[in-house]
Structure 1
Amino acid sequence: MRFAGVAAISLDLDDTLWPFQPAVERAEATLHAWLVKHAPGTARILPARGMLGKLRNDYEHSRPDLAGNYRALRIGSIELALALAGEDMGLAEEAYGVFYSARQKVEFFEDVWPALTWLSARFPLVALTNGNADLRLTGGGAFFRETLSARAVGIAKPQAGIFHAAALAAGVPASELLHVGDDFHLDYLGALNAGLQAAWLVRDHPKETAPGEYARYVTIRDLTALCCALGGPANL
């Protein structure tokens, strides 16, 4: 597998550079402990820390107007928990700050740092996310020319505009930007439909053992494979 005419690369963050679910679960555990300490009544509403995720998802379903606004959805669900518990809703902003800080504590996949070191020495890199991870806090920001989030740009993947914004940030035509991400629809198809080149990162199902339907797509098992496809060594 080789790519042609790649002048820059954009990379998704969650589940591409690090696993998303463990980071959120740790952040929700931290938030739960903070709420129980500072707003004790929430212990009755949220007897188990895992209920924070359910409350947040239920709140999202009730507020389709906030789709994609992760900050507003999380704060709204915290306010709901505080209201149901009869606690001070004014604590929501501080509680969100606790959650947000903990959410940035991620564990990068083993292949990521060596791959980013190799890639960033050869291509302008742009981070492209629909989420709220901040590379200045997670680490790794020095590898990237710019980070574009759906919230900052005002449009989200898979809309073409956010991919075109990434190409502009990288200083290359869309056709010369290679986008890499784990989500087939948001990342892979979104990038192709925007006129980019694309690679679908499928960590759980490496291409050589993937179901047949995967074979028709450009897939990579990790970022080391991406480096190989771009002319790099097999073992960084």
Structure 2
Amino acid sequence: MIRIISLDMDGTLVNSRFVDKVWMEGMPRLYAESTGLDLPAAREYVIGEYMKIGSDHLEWYDLKFWIDKFGLSIGKEELLELYEDEIEVYPEVEEVLELLSENYELVVTSNAAREFIDIELDGLQGYFREVFSATSDFREVKKSPLLYGAICAHLDARPFEVLHIGDHYSYDYESALDAGLDALFLDRRGERQGPEVIGDLREAVELIGGCA
């Protein structure tokens, strides 16, 4: 019997515009200003440095690491605040959280660093019992079955009591299933079909009703 619902953040609760702006516009623009490079050249250099590290390393997700690496005179909170107007919660989210919170405990399980989660969930945090960052809290770069197991242990829940919903087929769906959780794959692009594939979170409410 499901009693806890875990939700991914970027691509699930909020779209990725804010994150993309910080990394792909904010960091290159600040580097251009500090070095005198034109923006295209700065962007090419910055992205090239990202790629050298790669997403399998914790530094990839560490805003302060990159600010220091590029010698920028800005704090990570200040950088995030420059783009906070770009944060956009998907239109059905508040209604769905309101409905789900009536019968289930809700948590967020995100790969994003804690500083991104805190600003993106501003106004929504009251719905959630806890918020977990794979990179900040567990020093894990991906949401693995071991990570889901650790979260279940922290919540004092057996895996089959937890349902995870997210938009990455491997890390949100397959890894959660491998850990013994139930899972729904959120495919907002409509590229997959199946009984555990949903197009938005309203469809999750309908399916979860059958899990209660």
- TM-score under structure 1 normalisation? 0.73
Separation in 2, partners of 1:26, 1:118: 31
1:1-236 counterparts in 2 under 5 A? 5-20=1-16, 22-28=17-23, 29-30=25-26, 40-44=33-37, 46-48=38-40, 51-52=42-43, 54-64=44-54, 67-72=57-62, 74-81=63-70, 89=71, 91-92=72-73, 94-102=74-82, 105=85, 106-132=87-113, 133-135=116-118, 138-139=121-122, 140-150=124-134, 151-205=136-190, 210=191, 214-216=192-194, 218-231=196-209
Kindly state the Cα deviation for residue 27 of structure 1 after the two structures are TM-superposed: 2.9
Separation in 2, partners of 1:128, 1:200: 14
Paired residues of 2:29 and 2:39 also in contact (CA < 8 A) = no
Kindly state the Cα deviation for residue 228 of structure 1 after the two structures are TM-superposed: 1.2
Unaligned runs of 5+ in 1: 82-88
Partner of 2:58, secondary structure, is coil
Alpha carbons of structure 1 residues 129 and 67: separation in structure 2 relative to 1, 3 Å: same
Separation in 2, partners of 1:56, 1:135: 25
Query: How many percent identity over aligned positions?
Result: 23
Kindly state the Cα deviation for residue 159 of structure 1 after the two structures are TM-superposed: 1.5
Query: 1:26-71, CA deviations, whole angstroms, 9 ceiling, x for partnerless residues?
Result: 33545556566xxx44341x4249x54x544422332359713345
Amino acid at match of 1:221: G
Partner of 1:126, secondary structure, is strand
Kindly state the Cα deviation for residue 79 of structure 1 after the two structures are TM-superposed: 4.3
Alpha carbons of structure 1 residues 17 and 158: separation in structure 2 relative to 1, 3 Å: same
Alpha carbons of structure 1 residues 56 and 76: separation in structure 2 relative to 1, 3 Å: farther
What does residue 84 of structure 1 align with? none
Unaligned runs of 5+ in 2: none
How many pairs does the alignment contain?
Answer: 204
Partner of 1:148, secondary structure, is strand
Separation in 2, partners of 1:77, 1:152: 19
What does residue 86 of structure 1 align with? none
Alpha carbons of structure 1 residues 114 and 7: separation in structure 2 relative to 1, 3 Å: same
Alpha carbons of structure 1 residues 66 and 229: separation in structure 2 relative to 1, 3 Å: closer
Partner of 2:103, secondary structure, is coil
Query: 1:95-121, CA deviations, whole angstroms, 9 ceiling, x for partnerless residues?
Result: 433223345551100010100111112
Paired residues of 1:164 and 1:174 also in contact (CA < 8 A) = yes
Partner of 2:202, secondary structure, is helix
Kindly state the Cα deviation for residue 216 of structure 1 after the two structures are TM-superposed: 4.3
Larger Rg: 1
Alpha carbons of structure 1 residues 108 and 164: separation in structure 2 relative to 1, 3 Å: same
